[in-house]
Amino acid sequence: MDSFDLFVLARVLHIVAVVLWIGGVGLVTLVLIPSLRAMTAPSQRLALFEQLEGRFAKQAKWLTVITMLSGVYMIEFLNAWSRYSSFEFWWMHLMTFIWLIFSLVLFVFEPLFLHRWFHQQAEKDSEHAFMWLHRMHQVLLSLSLIAIAGAMAGSHGYSFH
């Protein structure tokens, strides 16, 4: 496999990983959390959320790693590190920021304190905890979709001036 074939493979892996990762975030944000918020029994709500979201979190960890490795490979292949110093490539900054936020949550914050903190909050006041969770997911999904739209336009030559 030559270097261009590896670049194409990296791009394919990058896009598939982002589709699965952000698609999962979309499912959690637009379907799972609203459905759980509509449940009347808070104890069922928390248990079901932890069961379903926990399975997705494991996948999301792998997908963020694949996204990072393929993204770094593409930047290196294109010698495109200088794009980070130009506002024209704002979508690269946003993609990196979103990746960083999700990676910190998945690999650092959740294992250290976030899982335990959310569990405690949901047991105290389930409505408030799930409302907060939903808002955070809405913000991250919105930013992710903006980054995806910018990346698609930017990688096809469109420049936002």
- pLDDT of amino acid 1: 81
Provide the domain count of the chain: 1
- pLDDT of amino acid 158: 83
- Which value, in Å, is the radius of gyration of the alpha carbons in the chain? 18
pLDDT digits (tens, 9 = 90+) for 9-58: 999 999 999 999 999 999 999 999 999 999 878 878 998 998 888 889 99
Average pLDDT, stretch 52-81? 95
d(C-alpha 133, C-alpha 59), whole Å: 19
For residue 101, tell me if it sits in a domain: yes
For residue 49, tell me if it sits in a domain: yes
For residue 12, tell me if it sits in a domain: yes
For residue 31, tell me if it sits in a domain: yes
Query: What is the distance between the terminal CA atoms of the chain, rounded to a whole angstrom?
Result: 38
pLDDT digits (tens, 9 = 90+) for 97-151: 999 999 999 999 999 999 999 999 999 999 999 999 999 999 999 999 999 999 9
For residue 160, tell me if it sits in a domain: no
Print the domain residue range for 27.
Answer: 3-155
- The whole model's pTM is what? 0.92
- pLDDT of amino acid 159: 76
Average pLDDT, stretch 1-11? 93
For residue 161, tell me if it sits in a domain: no
d(C-alpha 19, C-alpha 148), whole Å: 10
Residues ≥6 apart with Cβ < 8 Å to 123: 46
Residues ≥6 apart with Cβ < 8 Å to 134: 29, 33, 34, 37
For residue 53, tell me if it sits in a domain: yes
